[in-house]
C-alpha cells in the first residue's frame, strides 16, 4: 500500500525544489525538506535537484561539491558572467539528493533591477524593505534565472519547480514571466502577516474575516514580504499550505485557497522502535533525575521516584507558542495537587532559548557539590558492595555499622553539609539579559515559586539543548526521551513538529486545534482514554476555557498509573507513525502533477 501511495507516477521529468533552507538550517522548513528527501528521490531519481543559497561556513558536513554535468557547467558559466557563482554537488542527507547552491556575493549590483521587476510584474512594494528581505529576494530571483537556463538546455523536458515561502517567491515570479512552460508550486508554511499579527497578540482568527490584509501589512511593517508572498501564491500553478489552519489563514490574507494540502511528516524509520523507546526513556529519565537532585535537594527533598517530568520547547514567542497558557495551567495544576494532598511531584521544564549572561552561580555550586558527593560514593562502591554481601550472607543486618566505615560516614556528612543550603531553588538556570523577562514574571505570578510545599516545580532553561551546555548535558531528543509529557498549547502553529517528534520518541504530548498537526489527526477531537496526544480546543474558545481544559489534561495525566502512562506512550508512537513521509510524500507528487497540467494548458 505504501509503495502504491508513494509512486503516484510523476508527470514531470525534472523537479527543482527551491528553499532558503537547503543546506542552510534556519528553522522547520529544513526539517521538512531534508526528512522527505529520500522519498522524493525515490519518486524522481536523478531528476530531483534541490536549490539553496551558498554560505561557505554552513556547507561543511552538509554538502559535497562535485564536478557538474556539461550542460550544467555551461549554465554556471553564463551565470558567472552576471555575478552568480554556483556550486553543484550532493546534499548529505537521506536520499542524497543533488543540490545547486548559489552564491550571490557578486550579484548585489542587480538588487534595484530585481525590485523593479517585482514591482512591474506584481506590484511588490519594497521601498521600505528591511535588511532581511533583500538577500533572499536577490537569491530567489537568481534561482529563477538558473532554472530558466537549465530548462533551455533540456528542450521538450517536462519541468516543475517548487518554491517554499516568500523567501523563494521571486524565483517563481521570474519563471512565470520568463519561461511559463515550467509548472510552478508555491508552498506557504506560515503566512508573513499571520505570524506578525499573532506575535503582536492580535486576535488573529477572530479578525480574519474582516481585516484588510494590505492595511495590516503596512501597519506591522511587513508589506514587502507580504506582497511578495501574496503575488507568489496567486501566480503559482499550484498553491499549497502545510495544514488546513494555514489554508484558512491564506485564503483570507493571500486571497487564494490552497489547491492541495501538504502535511509535514517524519521519516519514522529513523526513530527507535518501542522496545528501544522504553530503554532510552529510563536512561534519560535517570539523567534528568540526577540533574533534579543537584538542582532541588540542597534546599529540601522530595520523592524523586514519584516525580514526573513535563516540558515545553519552543522559540521565544510567548503568546504564539502558548507559553502564557502553559505557565498559568501549571499554577492551577499546582493548586489542584496540593488540594488533593497528592504525593506526586511534577518538574516542568521550559526549554525556551533567550538572551542569557551566564549560568547562575548557585546552580554551578550545587552541581559541583553534588558531583563531589557522587564521585566520593563511586570510589567507595566496591567496599560498600562487599560489606553488604558479607552482612547479607552473615545475617548480621544491614545497618550503618555493617556497611560503612567511620571515616566514610564522617567524610560523607562533611560533604553533605557543604551540599545543603537554605532558601528555595531558583525558577531559572541562568542569569537573563532581560531583567524584566515576561516568562519569569509569569512563572512567579502563577504562584510557581519552587517552595517545598509546591507539588509543581519549574525550571526555566533559556539555552539551547546541545548536549554540552554545562548543566543537563542532553541534546534535544535525549531531553525529550527522559520526560513523561510534552506540552505545546500554541495559539499560532501552522504545523507543529514538536508533538510529532515527541510521539515518534514515544513521549505523550498536548497540542491544540490551532496547530496544523493537531487539526490533521484530530478533526473532531473526540479522544479516548489514552489518546497519546491530547488536543486542547482553542479555535473559537475563550482563553479561560482553553486554560481550564489544559490544566485538566495535565492533572489527569499526573494521576495516571505507570501502566496507563505506558498505554499513552504506545498510542503517541502509533499516531506519529501515521504521519510518515512514506505516505505523505504522495501529496507533493499530486501538487507537482497539478502544476504540470496547468502549465501544459498555457
- Which CATH number is 312's domain given? 3.40.50.2000
Q: What mean pLDDT comes out for the span 479-483?
A: 98
C-alpha cell at 541: 474558545
Say if residue 353 is in the same domain as residue 376. Answer: no
Say if residue 592 is in the same domain as residue 497. Answer: no
What strands lie across the sheet with 509-512, from one edge to the other? Answer: 456-461, 345-351, 307-313, 485-487, 509-512, 533-536
Say if residue 64 is in the same domain as residue 91. Answer: yes
Confidence band of 232 (pLDDT split at 50, 70, 90): very high
Q: Which of 342, 399, 302, 17 is nearest to 185 (CA)?
A: 17
The residue whose grid cell reads 494555514 is: 246
Say if residue 444 is in the same domain as residue 529. Answer: yes
Say if residue 143 is in the same domain as residue 220. Answer: yes
* Confidence check: pLDDT of 83 > 80: yes
The model's pLDDT over 292-305, given as tens digits with 9 standing for 90+, comes to: 999 999 999 999 99
> 345: number of CA atoms within 13 Å, CB side?
19
Say if residue 7 is in the same domain as residue 103. Answer: yes
Pairing mode, strands 430-432 and 509-512? unpaired
Q: Counting beta carbons within 10 angstroms of the beta carbon of residue 324, is it exposed (0 to 12), middle (13 to 18) or buried (19 or more)?
A: buried
| Residue numbers of the domain that contains 547 | 269-358+426-579
Average model confidence (pLDDT) across the chain: 94
The whole-angstrom separation of Cα 87 and Cα 276 is: 40
Q: How many domains does the chain have?
A: 3
Task: Answer with the one of 377, 407, 424 that is the final residue of a domain.
Answer: 424
Say if residue 546 is in the same domain as residue 586. Answer: no
| CB-based contact 352:460 (threshold 8 Å) | yes
Say if residue 14 is in the same domain as residue 123. Answer: yes
Say if residue 222 is in the same domain as residue 327. Answer: no
Say if residue 106 is in the same domain as residue 179. Answer: yes
Q: How much of the chain exceeds pLDDT 70, in percent? A: 98
Q: 3-state secondary structure string, 464-517?
A: CCECCCCCCCCEHHHHHHCCCEEECCCCCECCCHHHHHHHHCCCCEEEECCEHH
The model's pLDDT over 526-575, given as tens digits with 9 standing for 90+, comes to: 677 889 999 999 999 999 999 999 999 999 999 999 999 999 999 999 99
Say if residue 247 is in the same domain as residue 134. Answer: yes
Q: What is the DSSP string of 351-410?
A: E----EEEE-HHHHHHHHHHHHHHHHHHHTHHHHHHHHHHHHHHT---SHHHH--HHHHH
Say if residue 493 is in the same domain as residue 570. Answer: yes
The whole-angstrom separation of Cα 215 and Cα 234 is: 19
Q: How many helices (H) and strands (E) does the chain have?
A: 24, 17
Identify the bridge partners of residue 16 per DSSP, sorted by sequence position.
49, 161
Task: Answer with the one of 391, 424, 457 that is the final residue of a domain.
Answer: 424
User: What integer pLDDT is reported at residue 6 of this predicted model?
Assistant: 42
Amino acid at each position: 500500500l505504501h509503495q502504491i501511495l508513494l509512486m503516484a507516477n510523476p508527470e514531470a521529468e525534472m523537479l527543482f525544489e527551491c528553499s532558503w533552507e537547503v543546506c542552510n538550517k534556519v528553522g522547520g522548513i529544513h526539517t521538512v525538506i531534508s526528512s522527505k528527501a529520500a522519498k522524493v528521490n525515490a519518486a524522481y531519481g536523478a531528476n530531483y535537484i534541490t536549490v539553496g543559497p551558498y554560505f561557505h561556513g554552513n556547507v561543511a558536513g552538509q554538502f559535497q561539491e562535485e564536478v557538474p554535468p556539461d550542460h550544467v557547467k555551461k549554465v554556471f558559466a553564463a551565470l558567472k558572467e552576471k555575478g552568480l557563482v554556483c556550486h553543484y554537488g550532493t546534499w548529505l542527507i537521506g536520499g542524497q539528493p543533488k543540490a545547486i547552491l548559489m552564491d550571490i556575493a557578486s550579484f548585489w549590483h542587480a538588487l534595484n533591477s530585481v525590485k523593479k521587476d517585482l514591482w512591474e510584474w506584481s506590484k511588490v512594494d519594497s521601498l521600505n524593505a528591511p535588511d532581511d528581505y533583500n538577500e533572499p529576494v536577490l537569491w530567489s530571483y537568481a534561482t529563477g534565472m538558473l532554472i530558466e537556463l537549465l530548462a533551455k538546455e533540456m528542450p521538450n523536458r517536462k519541468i516543475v519547480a517548487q518554491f517554499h515561502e516568500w523567501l523563494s517567491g521571486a524565483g517563481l515570479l521570474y519563471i512565470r514571466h520568463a519561461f511559463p512552460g515550467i509548472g510552478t508550486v508555491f508552498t506557504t508554511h506560515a503566512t508573513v502577516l499571520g505570524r506578525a499579527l499573532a506575535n503582536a497578540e492580535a486576535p488573529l482568527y477572530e479578525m480574519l474575516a474582516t481585516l484588510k490584509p494590505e492595511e495590516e501589512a503596512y501597519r506591522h511593517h511587513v508589506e514587502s514580504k507580504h506582497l511578495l508572498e501574496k503575488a507568489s501564491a496567486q501566480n503559482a500553478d499550484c498553491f499549497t499550505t502545510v495544514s488546513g489552519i494555514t489554508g484558512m489563514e491564506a485564503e483570507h490574507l493571500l486571497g487564494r485557497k490552497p489547491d492541495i494540502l501538504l502535511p509535514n511528516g517524519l521519516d519514522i524509520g529513523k526513530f527507535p522502535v518501542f522496545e528501544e523507546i522504553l530503554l532510552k526513556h529510563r536512561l534519560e529519565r535517570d539523567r534528568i533525575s540526577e540533574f533534579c537532585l543537584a538542582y532541588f535537594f540542597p534546599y529540601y527533598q522530595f520523592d524523586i521516584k514519584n516525580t514526573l517530568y513535563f516540558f515545553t520547547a519552543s522559540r521565544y514567542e510567548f503568546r504564539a507558542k502558548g507559553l502564557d497558557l502553559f505557565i498559568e495551567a501549571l499554577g492551577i495544576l499546582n493548586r489542584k495537587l496540593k488540594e488533593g494532598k497528592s504525593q506526586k511531584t511534577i518538574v516542568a521544564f521550559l526549554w525556551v532559548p533567550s538572551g542569557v549572561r551566564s549560568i547562575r552561580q548557585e546552580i554551578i555550586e550545587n552541581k559541583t557539590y553534588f558531583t563531589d558527593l557522587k564521585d566520593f560514593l563511586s570510589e567507595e562502591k566496591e567496599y560498600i558492595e562487599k560489606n553488604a554481601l558479607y552482612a547479607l550472607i552473615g545475617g548480621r543486618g544491614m545497618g550503618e555499622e555493617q556497611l560503612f566505615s567511620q571515616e566514610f560516614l564522617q567524610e560523607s556528612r562533611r560533604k553533605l553539609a557543604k551540599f545543603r543550603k537554605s532558601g528555595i531553588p531558583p525558577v531559572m538556570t541562568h542569569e537573563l539579559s532581560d531583567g524584566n523577562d515576561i516568562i519569569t514574571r509569569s512563572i512567579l505570578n502563577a504562584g510557581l515559586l519552587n517552595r517545598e510545599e509546591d507539588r509543581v516545580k519549574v525550571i526555566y532553561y533559556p539555552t539551547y539543548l546541545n548536549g554540552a551546555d554545562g548543566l543537563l548535558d542532553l541534546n534535544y531528543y535525549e531531553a525529550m526521551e527522559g520526560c513523561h509529557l510534552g506540552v505545546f498549547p500554541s495559539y499560532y502553529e501552522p504545523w507543529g513538529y514538536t508533538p510529532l517528534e515527541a510521539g515518534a520518541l514515544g513521549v505523550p504530548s498536548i497540542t491544540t486545534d490551532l496547530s496544523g498537526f493537531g487539526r490533521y489527526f484530530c478533526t473532531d477531537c473526540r479522544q479516548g482514554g489514552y489518546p497519546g496526544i491530547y488536543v486542547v480546543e482553542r479555535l473559537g474558545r475563550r482563553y479561560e476555557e482553553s486554560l481550564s481544559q489544559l490544566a485538566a489534561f495535565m492533572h489527569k495525566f499526573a494521576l495516571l498509573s505507570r501502566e496507563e502512562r505506558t498505554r499513552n506512550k504506545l498510542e503517541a508512537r502509533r499516531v506519529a507513525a501515521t504521519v510518515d513521509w512514506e505516505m505523505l510524500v504522495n501529496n507533493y507528487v499530486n501538487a507537482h502533477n497539478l502544476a504540470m497540467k496547468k502549465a501544459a494548458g498555457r
